[in-house]
Amino acid sequence: MDDLLSEFLTETNESLEELDVEVVRLEQEPNDPELLSSIFRLVHTIKGTCGFLGLPRLESVAHSGENILGKFRDGELPVTPEAVTLIFESLDRIKSLLAALQETQTEPDGDDIDLISRLNAMAEGVAPPPAAAAPAVVETAAPEPVAIEEVPAPAPVEAAASEVETAKVSGEPLVNQLGGISMVDASIETLFRHLLKDDELKPYFDGLEMMIFQAKMVEYFTSILGGRDKYTGDIQEEFRPLAEQGLSDPHFDKMVACLQSALSELEIDDALASAVVAVFEGARETLLCKAEMEAKAAAAAAAAAAKNKSDEPDGAQKEAVAVVQSVRVNVDMLENLMTMVSELVLYRNQLLQMVRKYEDSEFSTPLQRLSLITTDLQEGVMKTRMQPIGNAWSKIPRIVRDLSLDLDKKIELEMIGAETELDRQVLEMIKDPLTHMIRNSGDHGIEQPADRLAAGKPETGKIVLNAFHEGGHIIIKIQDDGRGIAIDKVREKAIANELATVAELDAMSSKQIMQFIFKAGFSTAEKVTNVSGRGVGMDVVRTNIEKIGGNVELQSEPGVGSTFVVKIPLTLAIVSALIVESGGERFAVPQLSVDELVRVSDESEHRIEQVNATPVLRLRDTLLPLVDLNEVLGLKKVEKVISDDAVPAPEGEEAAGEETFIVILRSGVSSFGVIVDQVFESEEIVVKPVTPVLREISIFSGNTILGDGSVIMILDPNGIAEAMGEAIQSEAAAVDDDARRAQERAAAERSAILVFKAGTGESRAVPLALVARLEEIEVGTIEENDGVPVVQYRGRLMPLIEVAEGFKRATEGRQQVVVFADGDQSMGLMVDEIVDIVEDRLDIELASARTGVLGTAVIGSKAMDVIDTAYYLEKAFGDWFKTHGNMATNDRPTNKVLLVDDSPFFRNLLTPLLSVAGYEVTAVEGGEAALSLRDAGRDFDVIVSDIEMPGMDGFELANEIRTNGAWTNTPLVALSSFSSRADLEKGRNVGFRDYIVKLDRDALLDSLSHTLATVRGAA
Amino acid sequence: MSDTTNNATPETREFVTIMVGDQLCGIDVLKVYDVLGPQKIARVSLASAEVAGLLNLRGKIVTAIDLRRRLGVEDRPEGERGMSVVVERRNELYSLAVDSVGEVLRLPADKFEPNPATLDSTWRQFSEGVYRLEEGVLVVINDDSLLDYGRTPVAA
């Protein structure tokens, strides 16, 4: 590319960035004369350079913009948001022209009439119409009143104006009212006949390629009269030569008159004719190429002025003098320098290590010097790559401004720490994520002014962008004082998108749940706006930030606001890393992802525990999954070398003294521990990309050469987390992929199931939700009462029941007991062994005739009996349910309950439960079956229905019951495996009285008696 | 490939000869960046068996490929230390571990023959062709396909 042109592009782009910031400031401080003249100067310089380089489109847009700015400066025009928007629009146009220029090295074809005419209208003090309006409307809405008066119009000006108004209101474009393109063609034809008759105009138009000229006029005219096809040519091309020959306002007036008579000749009705004339009038500026002509005149004047004042440098030149102090250097060159310096550092380190071995070497002094200089050089080169973060922020004020206009919100932006420096490469990578987070804060965070006032907050929302250094990293905080993030919405969405199960979410802290917004496809915005809410975004933000070794966290307090905290390294080239060893090999772990180091031995407070044969680390009340690096990498653990003279420790002792090092790593939102054999010091390493041959091993993010010259791999915490997930999954069961996917689909319906063994050695299952506690009871404390074993438990006697015949109670040691409780009464089920707690669907596939067994279900890929708790409860104390039964039956007749649930397990579980509580239960497997009962004339006091059912679901069923048939007044209670506020709301809307989580027996019984009581009370 | 060297005339090509197992092979002399003696090689876990590891060559990280494994020849007997030929491909350096490195041979182009039909399929994949010499057949190694791990399955 032409040097001059590339220089121009760089400079102009910089000026534009500066302008973006300054114009936003101008909107806030419209009366700052210094700011105004600075802006004016910048635009003026752009215009001047464009003129110099022969870039007419850029020049004319810049010129029109400058006009407005000039009027701002002279106080002739107030600084309004509309005007500023228009200025921004012209800056954007300039940017897009520059982009095209950069690509093709020439200005793109086309013109900017629409923009320039609006700019000019603004400069004239007429409010510009919205940019999206049809050209005809644009032109008619901004006619120059003076010009219209000059037209020898047959109709009064007011009439014409009102006609224009009606034409616009009627919505019919003028071109159609006129009678289509053919009539436009005829009008132009006639117009030109008249023009050529006029002695003053004839010389300009005579000798033109009449056919082409007229055709272009027809095209242009059709378009500005509101024709469907947009005019794409450049009418100014045609008129420019005429304008240069001196075609000006008086001539144009004559042309208007010619058009007038041409239209009357064609017997166009007066009102329509004047509307058409007005449109033509509106094109005056364009056709006469006024902007250009004026620009030329201005340029000539400026050149003359510059000549006169050559000894007195103006502002722009002064700036130039200041700029000379810096040199532009190609970025590649800097990158190269950086690489070389990095290598230099490596060698310096190697040398230092070698020399350290020899005391008093003659090399030490010069090497010391070399070392110092290398360090200085490294810092110096790093500094050349450092840029203030403000450079990445330059676009943000503009974005916030546009956001607040788009969304009708009032947003104030505060930027703190713009001077904080960071590596250019990091800066580039952080730009887009930052922009996205700001948009997010503006769109999702800040509320509408009315809502803010209602919430007792100031009307104007505030976004604070804060950057600062902290321990070798840069922290960027993006804070808004908006509505914050509703945790339950995130939960719901996470469930709906199958990102987590209810049980998983229950186990998470709200901070962890919050991080779900960084998952792909996640958006809590209720509607998708053009600003954000498409759900592609926050995950990209996180990926991009993690790509540069950073991390992002979200903190939010409902009603108070949210804060994104981004932590990124200062530079990518050199990172601080922890060196660890596993299987005799060393690895580097980026310090940024290391949360802490834990040493575990028998004496330490932290211990490794086993959960279902998977090791976990209990660390300050949290359980962290553990993974052995040796296993992940397929390495053999190297036994610690015991030196020859040391006495070999006896087996037991060695095991007792053994220590384990655990590196706690963070990957995204989750933390986990990595067991390593050794932990060494942390070292500054130069990250080098891995060779393509090894790139598919996701566990490594790069490699490096250590000070001693050895090559080691850099571990990628995300890769380890992935590998760990795979390892756990592959262990979990030999479930093939399809089955696993099916399970995942059904995840929402899963429940926790306790698996135990008793008597026969077969596994049996019971839903965990029915279990109160698991206990171990000293055999010695078990007493016999009426032949029934009992134990004193929490100050009461608890009967112990055996699961099956042939069950042998433990005779010594401890007896495992599964405790079921209700209020202060408990019952213990004696079992041999608690096997596991698994998450699975409870589908009873084979019903059982045996007492105490509901049926057989496949749990964790094994078939097992699901025990009937109701049976054992009754066996334990016959009166247990009777207390409930009494509550329900004593003072009222038997209530009839219709239970609708597709799951045979729940039907089997709830039917006895409700029966013993005194209800008469009819259970059906779906909505259709329920409705056929209704149509058969059956009557119920209350209907309990599942929500998720194949075919007709609970909501549909409720809707049908509420609107048709005999059951419109029968109370409905919903039963669901998960309940969120939205579900609750939806349920209420379709007529459910209450919403019960499945397996919550007490809540169901309470709800039923409460519902019935209310209905009775009301009746 | 035949319009190569400065020393060689258009009719001849120069090869660095190497031994892989009992087989004599040749690598175009212009592709060779360096010849190394025994090196300290850092193993890389999880990498395929043919990747011997990484080594530090004057501040550059070089991927070491075990040519015996790549070509499906049995492993070198324990204790025998080989040599390495460093070649460059797409700005990356690779060190090919071989049994020994011999002289540079200048061979006339008209002696060049396509792969014999009986050549083992693994060899055929990485061989450009052969020269019949008095001391035996020299297989011309095609370093491009040899190091193209994107195309050929790594776990070959």
Q: CB of A778 within 8 Å of any CB in chain B?
A: no
Residue A719 buriedness (CB in 10 A; 0-12 / 13-18 / 19+): middle
Q: What share of chain B is helix, strand, coil (3-state, %, to 5)?
A: 15, 45, 40
Highest mean pLDDT among A137-151, A622-636, B84-98: B84-98
Closest CA to A518 of A502, A498, A540, A500: A540
pLDDT at A888 over 70: no
Task: At A11, give phi and psi (nearest 5°).
Answer: -65, -45
Name every residue whose Cβ is closer than 8 Å to that of residue A999 and which is 6 or more positions away in sequence.
Answer: A751, A767, A769, A770
The Cα of B152 is separated from the nearest Cα of chain A by a number of Å equal to 11
Mean pLDDT, residues A253-275 taken together: 79
The Cα of A338 is separated from the nearest Cα of chain B by a number of Å equal to 14
For residue B63, the chain A residue with the least C-alpha distance is A691
A694 CB neighbours in chain B (<8 A) are 44, 47, 51, 63
A635 CB neighbours in chain B (<8 A) are 45
For residue A712, the chain B residue with the least C-alpha distance is B42
For residue A688, the chain B residue with the least C-alpha distance is B61
The answer to whether the beta carbons of residues A142 and A151 sit under 8 Å apart is no
Torsion of CA B95, B98, B104, B108, to 10 degrees: -100
A692 CB neighbours in chain B (<8 A) are 90, 92, 149-150
Q: CB of A557 within 8 Å of any CB in chain B?
A: no
Residue A750 is predicted with a pLDDT of: 57
Q: Which two tokens stand for residue A950?
A: 């194949």
A343 CB neighbours in chain B (<8 A) are 59
Residue A822 is predicted with a pLDDT of: 59
Residue A134 is predicted with a pLDDT of: 37
> How many beta carbons lie within 10 A of that of residue A10, not counting itself?
12
Specify the DSSP class assigned to residue A155: S
> For A40-54, how does the pLDDT look when each residue is reduced to its tens digit (9 = 90+)?
878 877 877 777 777
Name every residue whose Cβ is closer than 8 Å to that of residue A592 and which is 6 or more positions away in sequence.
Answer: A473, A549, A550, A551, A567, A569, A575, A576
- DSSP-derived pairing of the beta strands A421-423 and A386-388: antiparallel
> For A101-133, how does the pLDDT look when each residue is reduced to its tens digit (9 = 90+)?
888 877 777 778 888 888 888 877 665 444 443
The Cα of A633 is separated from the nearest Cα of chain B by a number of Å equal to 6
Instruction: Residue window 614-643, chain A: list those with CB within 8 Å of chain B.
Output: 633-635
Helix axes A33-53, A56-73, angle to 10 degrees: 160
Contact B54/A691, CB-based, under 8 Å?
Answer: yes
- Radius of gyration over alpha carbons of chain B, in Å? 15
Q: CB of A346 within 8 Å of any CB in chain B?
A: yes
Closest CA to A839 of A907, A740, A761, A908: A740
Which runs of consecutive H residues, i.e. helices, occur in A601-646? Answer: 629-632
Closest CA to B47 of B34, B60, B72, B66: B66
Closest CA to A843 of A976, A751, A745, A951: A751
In which band, very low, low, confident or very high, does the pLDDT at A611 lie, cut at 50, 70 and 90? low
Q: CB of A351 within 8 Å of any CB in chain B?
A: no
Average pLDDT over chain A reads: 74
Q: CB of B153 within 8 Å of any CB in chain A?
A: no
Calpha distance A772→A757 (Å, rounded): 18
Count of all residues that appear for chain B in the document: 156
The Cα of B148 is separated from the nearest Cα of chain A by a number of Å equal to 8
Q: Which two tokens stand for residue A144?
A: 């120059």
In which band, very low, low, confident or very high, does the pLDDT at A306 lie, cut at 50, 70 and 90? low
Rounded alpha-carbon distances, angstroms, from residue A478 to A417, A468, A937, B103? 12, 12, 63, 65
Residue A304 is predicted with a pLDDT of: 61
pLDDT at A1007 over 70: yes
Contact A692/B56, CB-based, under 8 Å?
Answer: no
Pick B44's closest partner by Cβ from A343, A705, A713. Answer: A713
For residue B44, the chain A residue with the least C-alpha distance is A713
Q: CB of B45 within 8 Å of any CB in chain A?
A: yes
Q: Collapsing DSSP states into helix, strand and coil, what is residue A660?
A: strand
Buried residues in A942-979 as b, exposed as e (16+ CB within 10 A): bbbbbbbbeebbbbebbbbbbeeeebeebbbbbbbbbb
Rounded alpha-carbon distances, angstroms, from residue B20 to A792, B17, B147? 80, 10, 16
Q: To the nearest whole percent, how much of chain A has pLDDT over 70? A: 75
Q: CB of A583 within 8 Å of any CB in chain B?
A: yes
> For A453-488, how does the pLDDT look when each residue is reduced to its tens digit (9 = 90+)?
888 888 888 899 999 887 667 889 999 888 887 777
> For A936-951, how does the pLDDT look when each residue is reduced to its tens digit (9 = 90+)?
888 888 888 888 777 7
Highest mean pLDDT among A173-177, A520-524, A630-634: A630-634
- Sign (positive/negative) of CA torsion A691, A695, A698, A701? positive
Rounded alpha-carbon distances, angstroms, from residue B22 to A274, A415, A617, B100? 100, 71, 54, 10
Tokens 């095991």 sit on residue: A655
B40 CB neighbours in chain A (<8 A) are 710
- Sign (positive/negative) of CA torsion A291, A293, A296, A302? negative
The DSSP line for A572-596 is SSEEEEEEEEETTEEEEEEGGGEEE
Name every residue whose Cβ is closer than 8 Å to that of residue B57 and which is 6 or more positions away in sequence.
Answer: B34, B36, B86, B93, B95
Map B127-143 to HEC letters: EEEEEEECCEEEEEECH
Calpha distance A21→A393 (Å, rounded): 9
Specify the DSSP class assigned to residue A688: B
B65 CB neighbours in chain A (<8 A) are 693
Strands (E), chain B: 12-20, 23-28, 32-36, 51-57, 60-66, 83-89, 92-98, 100-108, 112-113, 127-133, 136-141
Between A882 and A614, residue with greater pLDDT = A614
Q: What residue type is A565 in one-letter code? A: V
Calpha distance A816→A170 (Å, rounded): 86
Contact B56/A711, CB-based, under 8 Å?
Answer: yes
Between A399 and A297, residue with greater pLDDT = A399
Domains of chain A: 3-297 (1.10.490.10), 331-386 (1.10.287), 389-569 (3.30.565.10), 574-639+657-732 (2.40.50.180), 743-876 (2.40.50.180), 879-1018 (3.40.50.2300)
Highest mean pLDDT among A558-572, A596-610, A985-999: A558-572
Pick A692's closest partner by Cβ from B46, B54, B92. Answer: B92
Q: To the nearest whole percent, how much of chain A has pLDDT over 90? A: 1
The answer, yes or no, to whether ipTM is higher than 0.90 is: no
A712 CB neighbours in chain B (<8 A) are 42
Residue B75 is predicted with a pLDDT of: 77
Instruction: Residue window 674-693, chain A: list those with CB within 8 Å of chain B.
Output: 688, 691-693
Q: What residue type is A530 in one-letter code? A: N
> How many beta carbons lie within 10 A of that of residue A247, not counting itself?
22
The Cα of A632 is separated from the nearest Cα of chain B by a number of Å equal to 9
Q: CB of A707 within 8 Å of any CB in chain B?
A: no
Between A1004 and A160, residue with greater pLDDT = A1004
Calpha distance A571→A588 (Å, rounded): 17
Rounded alpha-carbon distances, angstroms, from residue A507 to A613, A728, A939, B117, B153? 20, 19, 42, 65, 43
Calpha distance A884→A920 (Å, rounded): 14
Best of A585, A694, A722, A724 to disrupt the B interface (most B CBs within 10 Å) is: A694
For residue A714, the chain B residue with the least C-alpha distance is B44
Q: CB of B151 within 8 Å of any CB in chain A?
A: no
Calpha distance A846→A403 (Å, rounded): 60
Buried residues in B41-55 as b, exposed as e (16+ CB within 10 A): bbebbbbbebbbbbb
A346 CB neighbours in chain B (<8 A) are 59
Cα A32–chain centre separation: 38
Mean pLDDT, residues A693-704 taken together: 82
Contact A347/B59, CB-based, under 8 Å?
Answer: yes
> For A552-581, how does the pLDDT look when each residue is reduced to its tens digit (9 = 90+)?
888 888 888 888 888 887 766 677 889 998
Calpha distance A687→A547 (Å, rounded): 13
Residue A651 is predicted with a pLDDT of: 39
pLDDT at A321 over 50: no
From the first residue on, what is the mean pLDDT of each consecutive set of 10 residues in chain B (156 residues)?
Answer: 49 86 87 85 83 84 87 76 85 86 84 79 81 83 76 42
Closest CA to A383 of A432, A424, A348: A424
| Residue pairs spanning A and B at CB distance below 8 A | 59
pLDDT at A341 over 80: yes
Q: Which two tokens stand for residue A668?
A: 């995204």
- DSSP-derived pairing of the beta strands A751-757 and A607-611: unpaired
Tokens 């009678």 sit on residue: A179
The Cα of B134 is separated from the nearest Cα of chain A by a number of Å equal to 37
Q: Which two tokens stand for residue A36?
A: 């105004």
Q: CB of A585 within 8 Å of any CB in chain B?
A: yes
Domains of chain B: 18-146 (2.40.50.180)
> How many beta carbons lie within 10 A of that of residue A12, not counting itself?
23
In which band, very low, low, confident or very high, does the pLDDT at A957 lie, cut at 50, 70 and 90? confident
Calpha distance A289→A240 (Å, rounded): 6
Which of A702-711, A822-831, A961-970, B147-156 has the lowest average pLDDT? B147-156
The answer to whether the beta carbons of residues B91 and B22 sit under 8 Å apart is no
pLDDT at A668 over 70: no
Residue A1016 is predicted with a pLDDT of: 66
For residue A694, the chain B residue with the least C-alpha distance is B47
In which band, very low, low, confident or very high, does the pLDDT at A535 lie, cut at 50, 70 and 90? very low
Q: CB of A250 within 8 Å of any CB in chain B?
A: no
Best of B45, B69, B70, B152 to disrupt the A interface (most A CBs within 10 Å) is: B45
Contact B42/A709, CB-based, under 8 Å?
Answer: no
pLDDT at A747 over 50: no
Residue A648 is predicted with a pLDDT of: 42
Instruction: Residue window 710-749, chain A: list those with CB within 8 Å of chain B.
Output: 710-713
The Cα of A341 is separated from the nearest Cα of chain B by a number of Å equal to 12
B149 CB neighbours in chain A (<8 A) are 692-693
Name every residue whose Cβ is closer than 8 Å to that of residue A346 and which is 6 or more positions away in sequence.
Answer: A686, A705, A707, B59
Phi-psi region of A782 (alpha: psi -120 to 50; beta: other; left: phi over 0): beta
Instruction: Residue window 103-142, chain B: list those with CB within 8 Å of chain A.
Output: none
Calpha distance A452→A448 (Å, rounded): 6
- Sign (positive/negative) of CA torsion A835, A840, A843, A845? negative
* CA within 13 Å, CB half, A759: 11
pLDDT at A139 over 60: no
